[in-house]
Structure 1
Amino acid sequence: MTDDARARAPAPSPDPAVSAVQVARLYFYQGLTTGQIAAELGLSRPRVSRLLTLARRSGLVEIRIHDPAEHPQALEAQLRGRFPGLAPHVVDVPPGSSEALSLERVAAYSAKLLNQTLQPGQTVGLAWGNTLDAISRALTPRALPEVTFVQLNGSANAQEFVSGFVADTLLRFARNYAGRAHLFPVPTFFDNPETKRLMWQERSVRHVLDLQERAEVLLYSLGSRQSQAPSHVYTAGYLGASDQAELDAQGVVGDLATVFYRADGSSWGIPLNERASGPDLARVQAARQTICVVAGVGKARALHAALRGKLAQTLVVDEHAARAVLELE
């Protein structure tokens, strides 16, 4: 660069964010080295490196790797073609990776997506489980004024009163966004549908149900007994042997907020749903915005059925599970 050109170069801004954008443009768009940028802007090389790091970490710069095979992008296109109206996000994972690693990658991606999606003043319905617990641990702090998180399905059983699994998950979401958490202190499954009907008339329970109805965003995963790490509802003592036999007899392949559905996405006529505390799946279909997060090939049948039943608008899924879903008829 000539002395005249250097003289015309804009002085670095005192605002670090503005300086970070300026440095990023020179580095990524014009292909200048850190040394050349330092000379042009009158900065030290370490300062230039720090500004590039700021640009990446603060989201001013997004780095996308374009794989020649474009596996995630191709899978997203196929999912949109197979399930019209779906907005899929396919997360790449290493070949042969475990479902635990898939969950870690999907949870991290989902946490970032939430920071871009959630808005002040919203009410967000959360269906607890292993996946949302993983997302809650991957969140990065972002204060959202007047945001409210409400539990979509009950979690009470003898073991859960001791473990605190569900409450801890919801409280992490609330603390991360400086919001409020509303727990749903009712049984996951009632012993009798009539007991549920009477409980739903209680004022304290009605308050939570009203919040659920007002939720602008629903965030959930899907339950399946076929995954390497079966969903929490199947392992934490919520279902007895007779319950599981009944689900098999009904052709159940998965659950959403502990409401069960079949391979075609239907949930009508499943007796256990009459005792379940989760929302009617018609409510999920009619929701303003739904985000379904799934990790692991073991959940492919449950996800395929949910997509057939139009139980998701936005989907975050690892590429192995996405491919397995597309292979199902």
Structure 2
Amino acid sequence: MREVTKDHLRLLARVARMYHEQGIRQPEIAAALNISQPRVSRLLKEAVTRGLVRTVVTLPDGVHTELEEELERRYGLRDAVVVDVEDFQDDVIPPLATAAAAYLDVTFTGGDVIGLAAWSRTLQAVVKHLPQKNVQAAERVMQLVGGLGRAAEQVHATRLIARLADLTYAHPVFVPLPGVVATAAIREALLQDPDLAEVQAQWRDLTVALVGIGSTEPAPTGGDIPINQAGQDELRALGAVGEVCLHVFDATGKPVASSLDQRVIGIDAATFRAVGRRIGVAGGLRKLPAIKAAIEGGWVNILITDLRVARRLCR
């Protein structure tokens, strides 16, 4: 950068102070200093280049942009949302759901084919908080795994798919079968169902997958993975720490082979991982190992989580 005189530096400083500190518009500065407006514009740019003006962004309370950017950089995420849950120590789902609903409201802009893991308590809360769109925000909303749990819970999952479809003016696509069956033979027979074959073909059209991240760690309200205790014990013995859409993985995010694989009716791992935006909504320190493994293994590439988990992930 060329050397300049003190008089020129004095002019740079004066123009910069008038504009940035005193709020005087460029035409008024030009008139006051008897110089042209284009020159004022050039002087303001030069003041930035020479370091006379530095822009500092002060983050408001509850906004954690630096931490979100660190998560994106460290784990190769497309996006990250960090939610302050200080007032929700025992249950992080309400603030996570509110934040996720706000994120989806902005990012569902039309034409998407959305896949939903409908049994997740967190995602049920997300859909509850999602506002009605004014225009069509998605083409289809698809169930990613068959019905899980008791009959009443399966009905609730079906209603959740229908509700999200209503909110986005999309067409709902259901999996009309149970998500986990008793044996591999039963699964093979059910996979011949023509209705399921049609759903499987449509899974390849997905542009967004909205999922929870389940943990194999026992929880007071029961396990995250809707299988019996023997199945849970088997997964932990094999080194599994978490799951996404009933695809189970270890602490590094690598798939764990188990008997569960041959009994699940849902989207296959390759098709799921080919979805462009895979949004995981999960929080709470109990789930930290599962969340870390899910992002390290590339199961999700957009993460919505709480502040405590985010800080631990960036240590």
Q: TM-score with structure 2 length normalisation?
A: 0.74
1:310 to 292, 298, 307: 298
Gap change, CA 1:228 and 1:322, over 3 Å in 2: farther
Gap change, CA 1:84 and 1:120, over 3 Å in 2: closer
Contact 2:207 2:277 in 1 (8 A): yes
Gap change, CA 1:122 and 1:249, over 3 Å in 2: same
Gap change, CA 1:307 and 1:72, over 3 Å in 2: same
**2:114 aligned residue:** 124
Output aligned runs, 1:182-261, within 5 Å: 182-226=173-217, 233-234=224-225, 238-261=226-249
**1:113 aligned residue:** 103
Contact 1:224 1:231 in 2 (8 A): no
Output aligned runs, 1:1-329, within 5 Å: 66-67=59-60, 72-94=64-86, 97-100=88-91, 102-128=92-118, 129-142=120-133, 143-144=135-136, 147-157=139-149, 159-161=150-152, 164-226=155-217, 233-234=224-225, 238-327=226-315
Instruction: Name the amino acid aligned to 1:261.
Output: F
Instruction: Name the amino acid aligned to 2:159.
Output: D
Instruction: Name the amino acid aligned to 1:293.
Output: V
Q: TM-score with structure 1 length normalisation?
A: 0.71
Structure 2: how far apart are the matches of 1:160 and 1:194? 22
Contact 1:121 1:145 in 2 (8 A): yes
Structure 2: how far apart are the matches of 1:310 and 1:223? 15
Gap change, CA 1:174 and 1:112, over 3 Å in 2: same
**Unaligned ranges ≥5, structure 2:** 1-22, 24-56
Contact 1:222 1:255 in 2 (8 A): yes
**Unaligned ranges ≥5, structure 1:** 1-29, 31-63
Provide the secondary structure at the position in 2 that maps to 1:81: helix
- Once superposed, which parts of structure 1, at least 4 consecutive aligned residues long, lie more than 6 Å away? none
Contact 2:239 2:256 in 1 (8 A): no
Contact 1:224 1:230 in 2 (8 A): no
> What is the Cα-based RMSD across aligned positions, in Å?
2.6
